[in-house]
Structure 1
Amino acid sequence: MTPAFTVETVDYTAAHGALRQVREAVFVHEQGVPADLERDAADPLCDHVLARDAAGGPIGTGRLTPERRIGRMAVLPGWRGRGVGDAMLAALLDRARAHRWPSVALHAQASAIPFYVRNGFLPRGPVFEEAGIVHQAMHRSLDGPATVDRFDAARATMQALAFRAGRELAIQSRELDPGLLDEPAFIEAARDLLKRGGEVRVLLHDAYAPRQARAPLIGLSQRRPSGVLFRVIEEPVDLTYAGALAFNDRGDWFERPLGHRLEGEAALDDAPRMRQLRARFQETWERARPCSEFRAIGL
Structure 2
Amino acid sequence: MNTPGFTVQPIGYEDGLPALRQVRETVFVQEQGVPLALEWDELDPLCHHVIARDDGGHPIGTGRLTPRHTIGRMAVLADWRGRGVGDALLRALVAQARGLGWRELSLHAQVAAIGFYARHGFLPFGERFMEAGIAHQSMRLLVDAPNPVDSREAAIAATLGVVAGARRRLDIYSRELDPGLLDVPEVVAALRRLAVAGADIRILLQDPAEPRRALAPLINLGQRLSSAFAFRAIEEPADRAYPSAYLGNDAGGFYFRPLGHRFDGETRLDAPARTRQLRYAFDPVWERARPCTEFRALQI
**TM-score interval, smaller chain:** over 0.9
Deviation at 1:226, TM superposition (A): 2.2
The reply to whether residue 204 of structure 1 matches residue 205 of structure 2 is: yes
Match runs of 1:36-75 below 5 Å: 36-75=37-76
Residue type of the partner of 1:194? A
Aligned to 2:15: 14
Partner of 1:29: 30
State the match for 2:77 in structure 1: 76
Give the unaligned 5+ runs of structure 1.
none
2:104–2:141: 8 Å Cα contact kept in structure 1?
yes
The answer for the alignment partner of 1:151 in structure 2 is: 152
- Alpha-carbon offset, residue 112 of structure 1: 1.4
Matches within 5 A, 1:80-95: 80-95=81-96
1:169 is displaced (CA, Å) by 1.0
Name the CA distance, whole Å, in 2 between partners of 1:163 and 1:214: 25
Give, in whole Å, the separation in 2 of the partners of 1:222 and 1:25: 45
The whole-number CA distance in structure 2 between the counterparts of 1:187 and 1:28 is 35
Provide the rounded CA distance (Å) in 2 between the counterparts of 1:86 and 1:18: 19
AA aligned to 2:170 is L
Give the % identical residues: 56
Contact 1:257 1:264 in 2 (8 A): yes
Cα deviation, residue 39, structure 1: 0.6
- Residue 100 of structure 1 aligns to a residue whose secondary structure is coil
**What is the number of residues matched between the two proteins?**
299
Retained in 2: the 8 A contact 1:2–1:54? no
Whole-Å Cα distance in 1 between the matches of residues 3 and 242 of structure 2? 52
Tell me the secondary structure at the aligned position of residue 273 of structure 1.
helix
SS class of match (2:286): helix
For 1:124-143, what aligned pairs fall within 5 Å after superposition?
124-143=125-144
Letter in 1 for 2:121: G
**CA separation in 1, counterparts of 2:186 and 2:15?**
41
1:166-185 correspondence runs (5 A): 166-185=167-186
Q: What displacement does 1:196 show?
A: 1.3
CA contact (8 A) 2:150 2:264 kept: yes
Q: Which amino acid aligns with 1:215?
A: A
TM-score by length of 2: 0.97
> Separation in 2 of the partners of 1:18 and 1:140?
28
**CA distance in 2: counterparts of 1:121 and 1:2, whole angstroms:** 23
Q: CA deviation at 1:2?
A: 8.8
Aligned alpha-carbon RMSD (Å): 1.3
Contact 1:182 1:216 in 2 (8 A): yes
Q: What residue number does 1:243 align with?
A: 244
Q: CA deviation at 1:11?
A: 1.4
For 2:291, the equivalent position in structure 1 comes to: 290
Deviations along 1:130-181, whole A, 9 cap, x unmatched?
Answer: 1111110011121211110101000111112112211111100000000111
3-state DSSP of counterpart to 1:254: strand
The residue type equivalent to 1:144 in the other structure is: A
Aligned to 2:189: 188
Asked if the contact 1:255–1:264 (Cα under 8 Å) also holds between the matched residues in 2, the reply is yes
Q: Is the 8 A contact 1:103 1:143 kept in 2?
A: no
Residue 278, structure 1, aligned to residue 261, structure 2: no
Cα shift readout 1:99-149 (whole Å, capped 9, x = no counterpart): 121121000112211211222211111110011111100111212111101
Contact 1:148 1:264 in 2 (8 A): yes
* CA spacing shift, 1:2–1:36, aligned 2, 3 Å: closer
CA distance in 1, matches of 2:10, 2:236: 54
What SS is found at the alignment partner of 2:178? coil
Quick check: 2:120–2:269 contact (8 Å CA) kept in 1? no
Q: For 1:84 and 1:227, how far apart are their aligned partners in 2?
A: 29
Quickly say closer, same or farther: Cα 1:192–1:48, change in 2 above 3 A: same
Task: Find the residue that maps to 1:169 and give its secondary structure.
Answer: strand
Give me the whole-angstrom Cα distance separating, in 2, the residues matched to 1:297 and 1:3: 46
Q: Which AA in structure 2 matches 1:6?
A: T
Residue deviations 1:214-233, cap 9 Å, x none? 11111111112221001111
The secondary structure found in structure 2 opposite 1:97 is: helix
Unpaired runs of at least 5, structure 2: none
Asked if 2 retains the 8 angstrom alpha-carbon contact of 1:128 and 1:135, the reply is yes
Tell me, what secondary structure is at the counterpart of 1:295? helix
DSSP 3-state at the match of 1:293: helix
Q: Is the Cα–Cα contact under 8 Å of residues 251 and 270 in structure 2 kept in the other structure?
A: yes
Distance 1:191 1:209 in 2: 22
Which residue pairs with 1:265 in the alignment? 266
- AA partner of residue 134 (structure 1): A
